[in-house]
Each structure stands twice: as C-alpha cells, then as structure tokens.
Amino acid sequence: AQKITQTQPGMFVQEKEAVTLDCTYDTSDPSYGLFWYKQPSSGEMIFLIYQGSYDQQNATEGRYSLNFQKARKSANLVISASQLGDSAMYFCAMRRSYQLTFGKGTKLSVIP
C-alpha cells in the first residue's frame, strides 16, 4: 500500500523568504508519480508541480521546485520568495492505479 507522510502540520515563513515543505512516501512500485497541490481557503486544489520516479532532474515550475531524493523516498517542495498569496494548505500526493493518495497536508502561513 502507498503512504504519504507530511510531518509539518503548520509552518510560518516571512514574506520574500524561502520555505521547504516536507514529504516522505512509501511504495513498492518502481514507477510512480509525485504531485504537490495548493488548497486555499476557497477549497479548490491547485496543481503546482510533478516529479516522475524516473526523472533525473528535480522538477521546477516558477517559484516552486521539488527536492527529490529517491533513495530517501522524499519529495520536498521548496517555495522561493514567499508571497502573502502563498498562505494555504499544501498537499503532497502519489499516483497509482488512476488514483491519488494524499498526505495530511501542511498549513503554510506567510507573515508580512
């Protein structure tokens, strides 16, 4: 069975600073996909970034980058130059058999 662990229930970051949100996963599948989503208070899940298990390079999308350490089974999200609009819940997820398994999420609060 797949499992996603996000150990930080809440995080604070100063505006314009970088922040790392932790995610570890457990799977026996050799091929898998890892995703990060942002969920503002409105409820919609917004796709941020994807990392495939065979990707050699860490994924990047604008201010988002993924620190992928396959041997450690970790896929941490790095947000650079935090903005007030980054305050939200962040979820790490793994895809298998047409479904996503999500972690419990991390609530990020950006302080002006």
Partner 1 sequence: KAGVTQTPRYLIKTRGQQVTLSCSPISGHRSVSWYQQTPGQGLQFLFEYFSETQRNKGNFPGRFSGRQFSNSRSEMNVSTLELGDSALYLCASTGSGIAETQYFGPGTRLLVL
Could you list the residues that contact partner 1 (CB under 8 A)?
33, 35, 37, 42-47, 50, 52, 91, 95, 97-105
Nearer to partner 1, 18 or 46 (CB): 46
Cβ 39 to partner 1 shortest distance, Å: 9
Cβ 34 to partner 1 shortest distance, Å: 10
The dihedral formed by the CA atoms of 83, 104, 38 and 3, expressed in degrees to the nearest 10: 120
Nearer to partner 1, 79 or 92 (CB): 92
b/e string for 14-46 if b means 16 or more Cβ within 10 A?
A: eeeeebebbbbbebeeeebebbbbbeeeeeeee
